[in-house]
Chains A and B, each alone.
Chain A
């Protein structure tokens, strides 16, 4: 499942550690989600989408595979 987290984070000039702190998760988890190795729970997916001001379906695309995974 492809997601927009890395692009959105970079657009806002945030580091992975800063995003992790804002979402209340670890930096390692942000890395795992960005690379598509870990699919977040529904509550966390909503938290991420709300943080970036987007909807969950804009943030996560189930029809596209993450590149390199």
Chain B
């Protein structure tokens, strides 16, 4: 679907979609806080403009915002996301442990995040690791692995 959208508009489009969903949630929520949805739309419009402007800059950030990142910029992005996920998992573990210790009922969101990050890790291993090992060559079947030549 995203291939139909010009690269520079992809990140702004995702930002707009996420922001409008958030605004829609506040609108459905209703009550006396309905005005938060208006604020969310304004904040979303500002974010979309910022991401679009950033996408035109000749920087690493600009390349990522403009969906034209090369291999190094993609690697930096993947490493940053991995770090963010690690931090989320550690923070969730600490939160869950603290909730258990004080017998609090607010521990379940931490458990959910921990389970999701764990599942995501296993999914990643399945997609990018184990599934790509391939089958051994016929000549290698039954042989013991040899250490690499030094």
List A contacts of B70 (CB < 8 A): 24-26, 29
B60 and A41 within 8 A (CB): no
A51 close to chain B: CB less than 8 A: no
Question: Which residue of B is nearest A43, CB measured?
Answer: B71
List B contacts of A38 (CB < 8 A): 72
List B contacts of A24 (CB < 8 A): 70
B59 and A28 within 8 A (CB): yes
Total contacts A to B, CB within 8 angstroms? 28
Q: How far is the CA of A41 from the CA of B72 in the complex (A)?
A: 9
CB within 8 A of A25: which of B58, B59, B71? Answer: B71
Question: Which residue of B is nearest A38, CB measured?
Answer: B72
List A contacts of B72 (CB < 8 A): 25-26, 28-29, 32-33, 38, 40
A22 close to chain B: CB less than 8 A: no
Q: Is the interface of B mostly helix, strand, loop or mixed?
A: helix
> How many A residues are at the interface, by size bracket?
10 to 19
Q: How far is the CA of A29 from the CA of B68 in the complex (A)?
A: 13
List B contacts of A44 (CB < 8 A): 71
Min CB distance B149 to A, Å, is: 15
A40 and B60 within 8 A (CB): no
Question: Which residue of A is nearest B71, CB measured?
Answer: A41
Min CB distance B134 to A, Å, is: 18
List B contacts of A9 (CB < 8 A): none
Which residues of B are at the interface with A, using a C-beta cutoff of 8 A? Answer: 58-60, 63, 69-73
Instruction: List the 9 shortest-distance A-B pairs measured between CB atoms, nearest first.
Output: A25-B70, A29-B72, A38-B72, A26-B70, A29-B70, A28-B60, A41-B71, A26-B63, A32-B72
